[in-house]
A and B are shown apart, each in its own frame.
Chain A
């Protein structure tokens, strides 16, 4: 066997030799002959430069620019490529000292090894960068990267617009679209519309020579990918109205929410105290954020319009009036007698005056507690229900349909659902079968365990103004060129027939004409509203007002909360009326009221309160006597 085919070893050997020679020839060609493949004598290197697209801009409903972009520059370093240079001039140009320089390099090596590019200094302003970049070629190992940061030309609506910051490490690990050092929206519209605003990153491959000078692009940009600009958003906000609202709310804590009832578009959303959104941009953000965060009295970063809960107080009576009528236990002629207080069993609820015998419309106008406690009892004791629990659950479903106790489906992050107690809650607290209508009577006047956000209050006003339906409140009208979002065009009906709304609207009209909010009447505009006072056991009460105008086919529905404002008519009603006047008439004629509101300072009461010892907030059943009496005396003037 050995010898027959032995000569084949030459053939096999030759094949191996040919392959060997081919490799060597190819090597020679690649390494010695081919000029293209050679990095030339000056040793070019490439850099993958991430092309960050401009983030989408945000405009208000009239096309005014709310948020735009500005250039900022990151300074990057690859420590392994750093060679000696004049560090003094380097530090001078950038405005840092030698220690910063050394620790910056050390940090880069630690985070990313000496062979990789890391951020040496973030978000240098264009002014500094202009001087620095001329000398950049001298500083081996250093390069730069353009970033865009946000700018807010109108300085309004910080809570709505939100701000951007760097992505955290966990998200980088989970989502390959984000790299360390990328920006992401952290609150407000920037957060909820992050995917539309951020666009898509591109990559540009650039060549640099040994002198660290940019030589050109690589292969004519064949391997580059273009960045895609983020979509522009049109916000529902009217920037002028928003600015006006912020001005009115200066030196006060609280919020204003104004909605267009015909579409659900939010015209203004003010949370006070607020801040200049330009404070949260770029290199100053960290410092300012810490400062704002530490203000534990004012809580300027806290969006009260969406995240603060208050008992609705007397504003809730409007809802009750509707439920009572729908349930058939109440109509416009129903009379109850008010002698100054409501009594059932050994529970009593004080009213601020003895109103005598009232019918529904008047009861709303004068905000009579007695009347509405009676209404509540009649709802609870309705014969068609077999138990208090059943009646309560039915009542609860109505309240839910107004959006109370329900998480709003809004395109802003962190909106609270508010608080609406359940049967289980009362069972746990009082014991099953140990509570009845009288036990929870505080609900009748919007106190107790009820908690609503200003957004929910505004929506409630919209429902009444529309006579029984609403559109989901939302903050963005359109994304880029796309048509409006379908779910916001859907009408949501509450299970209350339209005819029952008329008398409530009439009553609310009376509130403004000659009722509790008469001082806030607007000449020429028929405004319907309801005052309320949210109880605060630790100090002054919170001033609430909901309204819509004009009475028929309203164009604006609004809620105003002024913390520690005392009576609903004192601060919330005038501010709401000014907002409405501004929106509908564009100019203010009641300049004296305007002046008084602008000068008002209720935030001092917040600070005072912090220094006083805290009183325990008692719940529903036991505080009816004294708390209510005092409060209601002050409210209705």
Chain B
């Protein structure tokens, strides 16, 4: 593809950009309220987080601007190298990176911290998109599937090694991408079943669960199969796997880090009282609940400001709009994200190039899983996992990561008519 001088302006999706700006501004104003310090009342005060966020936002805009100016084919051409650099960085940071609170996931350059796990997600997306869209005459479906999964799982494991299990949990979002590209829908089903099994294994009695599974297996054998020997092995194999998961869950659970264990226990309402985590989560719930329909008003929220809610500028940033803008305000933000994600799917579908489409689905999926887990965790639907809310949580690394992710896709989308295949 040769680069032609053409204005892309009429082809850029301004709707998405306006959604982006809306969320960014809401996020910025929100941080101002959440960590408001009366000693530093200016929103541009750079010693405070709201001032710092402004810097991240502005530099993010500059990045976005340069991306839009660049040649779209750049991303396709450099997909693999970028992927490689990110994976290498994920590996290297384990050894060279600074140890912050137990996790080895940050590089520090002066005042600026860079987290390859977060920042590099766009590169993982690019690499995956490149692979799945490339000519694969020589390999069969199974091999493609395996390689694609490996491309996702390998960096995910590296991130787990960095002790950033939270970020690693967002990588399975790519399953939507794979599903769209032909991965069997059964995978999704199996995924749900697995999650259900995990939860049941932790909550309920393993004995009853095991008996239940055996019962279901027998039923399935009788009703659905031809009762041949190979069916026995098949059903038996699946049953064995399920049982292994049930017991394996307990084993894995006991080997989690203590704070991770606590979070899951709190989520499952076990031993809530004795833990700080239980108390903290309860505080968040109260803060959200106190918002009622219309909230207390901007800057009037008390719970987060009075430090009852922990991490109220990052993980629990959603609490503040709940408290200050009430149900309508909070629901509005959720709907805003939903519209953005659906818009991205729409844009992805109108791509001619599989590379762009796959990348686009990746963007939508990544946003989806971040919003779903972060909001879910704030609402007590999901155990506490330290994941930022895109563009709203405080943090330069995550803001850049999502901005890059989004604008690369917008750039690719702006070129959609240039591609013949």
Interface centre among B302, B322, B352, B357 (most CB of A within 10 A): B302
With a cutoff of 8 Å between Cβ atoms, the chain B residues found around residue A4 in the complex are 182
Contact at B292–A13, with CB atoms within 8 Å?
A: no
List the B side residues contacting A393 at CB < 8 Å: none
Not counting A12-B345, A27-B288, A39-B286, a sample of 15 additional A-B residue pairs whose C-beta atoms are within 8 angstroms of each other reads A2-B354, A4-B182, A8-B185, A13-B345, A16-B341, A23-B372, A23-B381, A30-B288, A31-B326, A31-B330, A32-B292, A36-B289, A39-B290, A115-B306, A222-B273
Give every chain B residue within 8 A of A39 (Cβ-Cβ): 286, 289-290
- Does residue A98 face the partner (Cβ distance < 8 Å to B)? no
8 Å CB contacts to B: which residues of A24-43?
Answer: 24, 26-28, 30-32, 34, 36-39, 43
Let me know if B38 and A113 touch, CB within 8 A. yes
Name A403-451 residues within 8 Å CB distance of B: none
Q: In the complex, are the beta carbons of A17 and B338 less than 8 A apart?
A: yes
B322 lies within 8 A of A46 (CB): no
B38, B180, B273, B337: the one within 8 Å of A5 (CB): B180
- B292 and A30 within 8 A (CB): no
With a CB–CB cut-off of 8 A, which chain B residues contact A114?
38
B window 279-331: CB within 8 A of A: 279, 285-286, 288-293, 302, 305-308, 322, 326-327, 330-331
Residues on A with C-beta less than 8 A from B278 are 223
Q: Are B291 and A31 in contact (CB under 8 A)?
A: yes
Asked whether, in the complex, the Cβ of A34 is within 8 Å of the Cβ of B289, the reply is yes
Tell whether, in the assembled complex, residue A5 and residue B322 are in contact, meaning their CB atoms are under 8 Å apart: no
Q: Which residues of A contact B379 (CB under 8 A)?
A: 23, 26-27, 30
Contact A45 B39 (CB under 8 A): no
Q: A24-B334, A30-B379, A115-B305 are in contact. Are A13 and B289 (CB under 8 A)?
A: no
Distance in angstroms between the alpha carbons of A32 and B293 in the assembled complex: 6
Q: Would you call A11 an interface residue if the criterion is a C-beta within 8 Å of the partner chain's C-beta atoms?
A: yes
A26 to B330, CA, bound (A): 11
Report Cα–Cα, A19/B179, bound state, in Å: 18
| A290 in the interface (beta carbon within 8 A) | no
Q: A9-B345, A20-B334, A38-B290 are in contact. Are A27 and B327 (CB under 8 A)?
A: yes
A12 touches B288 (CB 8 A): no
* A1 at the binding interface (Cβ < 8 Å): yes
27 contacts between A and B (CB under 8 A): A2-B352, A2-B354, A4-B182, A8-B185, A9-B180, A9-B349, A12-B361, A16-B338, A19-B372, A23-B381, A26-B379, A27-B288, A27-B322, A27-B330, A28-B331, A30-B289, A31-B289, A31-B291, A31-B326, A32-B293, A37-B286, A39-B286, A43-B290, A45-B302, A113-B37, A114-B38, A115-B307
Contact status B180-A16, CB under 8 Å: no
Closest to B302 in A: A45
Where the two chains meet, the residues of A that have a C-beta atom closer than 8 Å to any C-beta of B are: 1-2, 4-6, 8-9, 11-13, 15-17, 19-20, 22-24, 26-28, 30-32, 34, 36-39, 43, 45-46, 113-116, 222-223
Decide if A23 touches B349 in the complex (CB within 8 Å): no
Separation of A20 and B333 alpha carbons in the complex (Å): 11
Chain B residue numbers with a CB within 8 Å of A8 are: 179-180, 185
Instruction: Please measure, in the bound complex, the distance between the C-alpha atom of A223 and the C-alpha atom of B352, giving whole angstroms.
Output: 58
Which residues in B have their C-beta under 8 angstroms from that of A26? 379-381
Whether, in the assembled complex, B342 has its beta carbon less than 8 Å from a beta carbon of chain A, the answer is: yes
Shortest distance from the beta carbon of A467 to any chain B beta carbon, whole Å: 59
Q: What CA separation (Å) do A378 and B308 show in the bound complex?
A: 79
Query: Once the chains bind, are A30 and B342 in contact (CB under 8 Å)?
Result: no
CB distance from B81 to the nearest CB of A (A): 24
The smallest beta-carbon distance between B133 and chain A, in angstroms, is 8
Docked pose: A415 CA to B400 CA in angstroms: 62
Decide: A116 near B357, CB < 8 A? Known: A32-B327, A223-B279.
no
Contact assessment for B338 and A46 in the assembled complex, using a CB-CB cutoff below 8 Å: no
A33 and B2 alpha carbons, distance in the complex (Å): 60
Across-interface contacts of A37 in B (CB, < 8 A): 285-286, 288-290
In the complex, what residues of B have CB within 8 A of residue A6's CB? 349
Inter-chain CA distance A113–B326, complex, in Å, is 27
For B361, the chain A residues whose CB sits under 8 A away are 12
Say yes or no for B363: interface residue by CB 8 A criterion. Answer: no
B45 within 8 A of A: no
Residues of A within 8 A of B359 (CB): none
B179 touches A13 (CB 8 A): no
**Which residues of A sit under 8 angstroms from B349, Cβ to Cβ?**
6, 9
Q: For residue A79, which residue of chain B has the nearest CB?
A: B38
Q: Decide yes or no whether B376 CB sits under 8 A from chain A.
A: yes
Residues of A contacting B368 in the complex (Cβ-Cβ under 8 angstroms) = 16, 19
**Pairwise interchain contact B330-A20, C-beta atoms closer than 8 A:** no
